Structure 1
Amino acid sequence: MTSSHPTPMSARRTALIGGLMVATGPLSLTLYQPALPTLVEDLDATTTGIQLTLTVYFAAFALAQLICGPLSDRYGRRNVGLLFFAIYVLGSLIAVAAPSLEVLFIGRFVQGFGVSAGVALSRAMVRDQFVGSEAIRILTLINLILTVTPAVAPTLGSIILQLGTWHYMFVVMAGFGLAILALMATNARETLPEAARVPFRPGTILANYRRLLAAPDFMFPSLLLGLTFTGFHGFTALLPFILIEGMGLTPFQFAMAMLVQTASFILGNLVVTYLSRRISGNQLLVIALCLLGVSGLAFGVLPRVFPNSVAAIMAPVGIWMLGLAFISPAATAAAMAGFGAIAGAAGALTGFFQVGGGFVGSLAAGTLFGDARTALVIQLPVVAVMVIGVALLDLARSKRNR
């Protein structure tokens, strides 16, 4: 079922543009993953300091969405997207020239601010045009496109590191941002009609966010989304130090190991694309919760039993990514379903929970534990329990309201 106004873009074009916009986020995260240990030496920094470059990125990414979404509700998705991706390119160029950790922090903050448009606007563009199972299928396609970037990025990053320095990784990010700007300028159409736009007033913005935060139908799926990404970005921050520093993998071997993560996510998206036509979003969530529970248990057990095994690390990662593929489109569609009139704000707030989960996950991984392996075997099982707990609370709420 489509929305009542004419569809400015086809489902395929919406998925392609939305997927590439969203892909900029993980590109900025995973391309320089193989260089994290190198950055410790080159910038005379600590492991914690380099991990905080991820945290700074996530903080800006999360907070900027709260501005980006309402701006797009007022000025349209396309115009705001062009502005924010220009900011992303500026941040990438700052990082290219970073002579110190402090300047790299600034570049990563500006990058995170600009790239926030990817999540917020892609979801709003889908909600402007599609609802129900069709929206889930398009969001799943966007997620599938999204997996191509982290599949290629660590391998590309390791090659760049062998041929040059980590600075060139940020040159690639700037180039990708310029390509997105060109795509949006030439191929993207505005999906928000003039008549549907709302004023950009602080009072209106706060009222919209209060409405969303007070709505259980929005909050529960958003919390599930945020916690799932807390786990994902937690182990994303830890894996380079566990596999490269702790287990002695080369950057290229690390990139090969990370293909387990990407392949699992691609497989999960393909299965979700097939199942979304046959089962409900709630049934997809149940499958996701089972997978995340198994993954949390495996994180707590396998690295302890097989401390020198890469498979003992990557098997739980792969299962978590399967669960993430199931939970992301279903939870996103469920959170935004009843809020078409403020789709920009709803997309921004779901993105805030998702990326805010990344902020919490990377911050906890880098600061609360003595070493990366300890963080992995404690943090991920705890997050899995929290995900299941939120889901059970939502189930109990639904039963009471019947």
Structure 2
Amino acid sequence: MTQTARPAAGTAGGAPDRRLWSIIILGSLTAIGPLSIDLYLPALPALAADLSTGAVQTQLTLTACVAGLAAGQAVAGPLSDTLGRRRPLLAGLAAYAAASVLCAVSPTVETLIAMRVVQGAAGAAGIVIARAIVRDLYQGVAAARFFSMLMLVTGLAPILAPVLGGQLLRLVPWPGLFAVLSGVGVALFLGALLGLGETLPPERRAAGGPRATAATFRDLATDRAFAGYALTIGLAFGAMFTYISGSPFVLQDIYGMSPQTYGVAFGVNALGIVTAAQVGGRLAGRVPLRRLLAAGLGIVTAGGAGLLLAVLTGAGLYGVLPALFLVTSGQGLILPNATALALSSSRASRAAGSGSALLGVAQFTLGGAAAPLAGIAGRGTAVPMAASIAALAVLASIVAAAAARTPEPPEAPEPEAAGDAGIPPSPA
């Protein structure tokens, strides 16, 4: 597949400052999910104690956010195909800032769970519409490179968020972390308002209505290539989210890490995602995207098997930490390439917002369903987390192998995007 991309009409040509600003904004929008989840990870044990609840109930606050992220994408994606990208994006970011304040003032774990659903649903607009904007302008190898580039920004969220969260806990109780998220929502709203233009002109917008949306979703779900790569993303993220939800208790309660040390360890693992994504971006075009995806899945599977072995044999942190690094690093090859492959399918190319939405639904639905598995046997054992990660990685590899048997779609001419997105073509 060759690179195809055109600048949005009215853009500043190849101006590096415009391009950098656009990458920062779009990358920050896709980082809403990990930022909303990871900032308060070091606070989970303290939150459980403060609200007098257990590990499973506390992990449900993660699941609730993920459920909101999934449901919100299913709404925001099709809306952006009908109304354009800007209006749904700005509305979602405004609602995210308000919902984060409500999370901060939640008096019980049940209220917090409910508010986390709302917060996730609102923030989903940023994730799904950012992907759709990239697909408006790029496809195939060019899209994979751009998604890898966005992970430079997206990857900062899981690297910095737990570290920042751990340090903030020295100054404020856990509700203060949600106040910080509200401020992030306001900043992203202003950035999108001032820095992103419309990339979907009226003549390319889809007909609205529930029936049209349902028909589009049905067409995408029956596309074997799209459905296979979407399920691959969901299963791989399920392994990742099992680690995200289980590691605060495993590493702090079982292996004795402090919240601050845990934040550093989590950040190192996230750095592995960024590094792998940039290596994959460099190789895209020289190595087939399907082969890069298979390499990422192999890394995650090896990490899952190593983690289970380390837990069962009592190897301690010397066995657990390297295995977790593999589990997380492999995601940097999986997510950009599986996303580009899915959105390059013939049906997804005609409805980027809806296609992006279904990818998000698969990713966050399976991730949310996997989260409670890590704590199903209580806070005193790491076996459920390790076994779940290993099983999900194997399933993702099997599904991706089946999807790879479908013919690779030809590179189609890229449609001209209207508006001023400020995103010049990516370099070859």
Fold shared by both chains (TM-score > 0.5): yes
Distance 2:331 2:108 in 1: 35
Change over 3 Å in CA distance of 1:369–1:38 after alignment to 2 = closer
**Post-superposition offset of 1:155:** 1.1
Q: Output the amino acid matched with 1:313.
A: V
TM-score under structure 2 length normalisation: 0.89
Matches within 5 A, 1:120-199: 120-199=128-207
Assess if the C-alpha contact under 8 Å between 1:91 and 1:109 holds in 2.
no
The amino acid of 1:386's aligned partner reads: L
Unaligned runs of 5+ in 1: none
State the match for 1:319 in structure 2: 326
For each residue in 1:82-120, what CA deviation from the matched residue of structure 2 results, as whole angstroms up to 9, or x when unmatched?
111111111100011111112211221111111111221
The corresponding residue for 2:424 is none
Task: Give aligned-pair identity as a percent.
Answer: 29
Counterpart residue number, 1:29 = 37
Change beyond 3 A, Cα 1:213–1:126: same
| Change beyond 3 A, Cα 1:313–1:66 | same
Between 382-391 and 174-183, the greater mean CA deviation after superposition: 382-391
Deviation digits for residues 364-394 of structure 1, max 9, x if unmatched? 3344777550212211111121112112323
Q: 1:236 aligns with which of 244, 253, 256?
A: 244
Please give the alpha-carbon distance, in whole angstroms, between the structure 1 residues aligned to 2:158 and 2:295.
Answer: 24
Q: Equivalent residue for 1:394?
A: 403
CA contact 2:71–2:361 (8 Å) conserved in 1: yes
Compute the displacement of 1:293 (Å): 2.2
Sort the Cα spacing of 1:129 and 1:3 in 2 relative to 1 into closer, same or farther, 3 A. same
Of residues 98-107 and 231-240 in structure 1, the stretch that sits farther from structure 2 once superposed is 98-107
Measure, in 1, the Cα distance between the counterparts of 2:353 and 2:127.
10
Paired position in structure 2 for 1:346 = 355
Work out whether residues 3 and 129 of structure 1, in 8 Å CA contact, stay in contact via their aligned partners in 2.
yes
1:210-229 Cα distance to aligned partner (Å, 9 max, x none) = 00000001011111111100
Once residues 258 and 264 of structure 1 are traced to their aligned partners in structure 2, the CA distance between those partners, rounded to angstroms, is 10
Distance in 2 of aligned mates of 1:64 and 1:366: 26
Alignment partner of 1:385 is 2:394? yes
The alignment yields a C-alpha RMSD, in angstroms, of: 1.9
For 2:302, the equivalent position in structure 1 comes to: 294
Q: Does 1:363 align with 2:372?
A: yes
Q: Counterpart of 1:250? A: 258
C-alpha spacing 1:210/1:7, structure 2 compared with 1 (3 Å): farther
Which range is displaced more, 267-276 or 170-179?
267-276
Larger deviation, residues 65-74 vs 7-16: 7-16
Shift of 1:277: 3.7
Aligned match for 2:104, one of 88, 96, 107: 96
Cα displacement (A) at 1:4:
9.1
TM-score where L is the length of structure 1: 0.94
Give SS of 2:106's match. coil
Partner of 1:6: 9
CA–CA distance in structure 1, aligned partners of residues 407 and 83 of structure 2: 37
Q: Number of residues paired by the alignment?
A: 398
Paired letter, 1:121: I
Structure (1/2) with the larger helix percentage: 1
Task: Give the C-alpha shift of residue 348 in structure 1.
Answer: 0.5
* Cα offset, 1:303, TM superposition: 2.2
For 1:6, give the aligned amino acid: A
Deviations 1:252-297 (A, max 9, x none): 1111211221121121122112111421211211211221221121
Moved over 3 A (4+): 3-14, 366-372, 395-399
- In structure 2, how many angstroms separate the alpha carbons of the residues matched to 1:311 and 1:143? 28
